Amino acid sequence: MRRFLDSVFTFLVMSFCVLALASQATAADHLNAIIQAMPANSWYTVPNSKLHEDPAEALDSEFPGIWQGNAREADGRFAWSGGALDSKRDRLVIWGGGHADYYGNELYGFNLKDFTWDRLTDPSPVCDPGGLNGNPPGDCADILSDGNPNARHTYYNLDYIPELDSLFSSPAGSTASRSGGLDRNTWLFDFEANEADRTAGWNNRGKALGNGDPNGTSIVGWSPTASAYDPNSGLVYSVSTAGLYEYNIETNFWRRLNSSNIVIPGGPSNASDRGMVIDPKRNKIVVIGHGQVTVYDLDGDMQYQQQVWETTGNEFQTAPGTGGYRPGVNYDPVADRIVVWDGDAVQALNMETREWEQLAATPELPEGTGTYGRFRYSPTQNAYIVVNGGDQDVLIYKLTEPPNLLEGDFDEDGDVDGADFLQWQRGGLSTSALADWETNFGATSLPAASTSVPEPSTGLILALCCGICAMRRRHTRAGGAAIR
């Protein structure tokens, strides 16, 4: 009978412990655990993660005039819009709209820590496209009445600058108006300033300057198509119909590096609809789209020269919804691959062999106008996040298992090398971190399955429960010996 009662007591205590532990876990903890446990080359749909079920009804009454054309049905916030991964807060930031699709210029962020959407800013007073308020009929200003940028198609023109904790937007086209104009201004959005004041954040860096032009005139006929931040140099590079450009954030100056347009025989004769990324390990710019891989070396004998690579293993198609059409393009530091997704199967390019691998297909269809910069790699999660519309759930893709990172692996790419030293030089890391780098220089870490570490409260509950059961067992044994 005593043993039976002991078993019942233990069962009740452990049941209480299970319930207590369950109460400690939030929905975000649960989702984080799922993402960490995702097998390599798999997709996950984040439940209940739509930006809004009925975006038009939600914003119309508060901000009249922001919806134009068919934007209500198609959610114009995602029309030809890009995004960037705010690595400090681990969130995907979306900014888009423009032309006749959507006139709101607000920013949104999907947080990978709590899996919720935030509207970072409110829409500015919209520009009247009908010719009122001093604007020409069918046109709108680049800069709105509150000094903030007009909504626009952001394409591939958004990047996160970690040193400034800011969103970068290179000059982009199709601002909110009936004619869809080009804003030649370069913009930064300060996230820290925005956290202190919701109405703050935007900083106009002015119109793009020409090559050494003392008068500061804008570059004629230039409309950047894609940009990418280089973590090694701190510069931003851009490809366009006018060639390859470099932007120095400190001096606020654009410099043209070559005038070679990207041309495809028998195909589109411009640089549009191509994603762009920096391979920091090889110090190369990689531009992908329309069945073509174009590479620029950032140093060496071939510096800034356009190289069209022949690759094997996959033939990209140019039709919407298939390979190569306005894809999301990233560099994966763990897999050491250029990872591309356009709504079909994920593609990974080996930069050494120039071979493509076709990986898992997505559970959702792509956004009709393209993916652009809304497919981004999160180093914290070692996973990709993508969102293609306000009425679609957020998707997560994991290519590899997380690595066991070494001390000194500051860029978290699985090895300790010169790129980590460059990151240490850029500031924000201690002298002890440099010592870690020196100790482990040249070492690599192999991918391994992650292990979860209980929160302090969770560990306390486990200790109490185990302690109670142990005390009960000792008490029973002591009592039994006395009875005998």
Q: Are strands 224-229 and 202-207 parallel, antiparallel or unpaired?
A: unpaired
pLDDT band at 185 (very low <50, low <70, confident <90, very high): confident
Query: What angle, 0 to 180 degrees and rounded to 10, lies between the N-to-C axes of helices 431-440 and 418-425?
Result: 170
The larger pLDDT score, comparing residue 343 to residue 337, is at 337
The answer to whether 70 and 93 are in contact (CB under 8 A) is no
Q: Over 90: is that where the pLDDT of 88 sits?
A: yes
The angle formed by the CA atoms of residues 364, 366 and 369, to the nearest 5 degrees, is 160
Q: How far apart are CA 394 and CA 45, in angstroms?
A: 6
The residues with which 297 forms a beta bridge, in sequence order, are: 284, 303
The answer to whether 328 and 340 are in contact (CB under 8 A) is yes
431's CB contacts (< 8 A; 6+ apart) are none
The answer to whether 450 and 36 are in contact (CB under 8 A) is yes
CA-wise closest residue to 155 among 295, 273, 277: 273
Give buried/exposed letters for 335-351 (b at 16+ CB in 10 A, else e). bbbbbbbbbbbbbbbbb
The larger pLDDT score, comparing residue 166 to residue 10, is at 166
Q: How far apart are CA 313 and CA 357, in angstroms?
A: 6
pLDDT, position 413: 67
pLDDT, position 171: 83
Rounded mean pLDDT, 52-59: 57
CA 323, chain centre distance (Å): 20
pLDDT band at 69 (very low <50, low <70, confident <90, very high): low
The angle formed by the CA atoms of residues 56, 115 and 273, to the nearest 5 degrees, is 65
Q: H or E element: which one contains 259?
A: none
pLDDT, position 479: 40
The predicted model scores a pTM of 0.75
Counting beta carbons within 10 angstroms of the beta carbon of residue 87, is it exposed (0 to 12), middle (13 to 18) or buried (19 or more)? middle
pLDDT, position 467: 55
pLDDT, position 444: 72
Structural domain boundaries in the chain:
2-29+452-483, 40-398
pLDDT, position 404: 63
40-398: what CATH class?
mainly beta
Average pLDDT, the chain: 77
Rounded mean pLDDT, 122-138: 62
Rounded mean pLDDT, 415-421: 82
CA dihedral 54, 83, 272, 187 (to 10 degrees): 110
pLDDT, position 16: 53
Q: Over 90: is that where the pLDDT of 203 sits?
A: yes
DSSP calls for 184-211: -EEEEEEHHHHHH-TT--EEEEEEPP-T
Q: Over 70: is that where the pLDDT of 237 sits?
A: yes
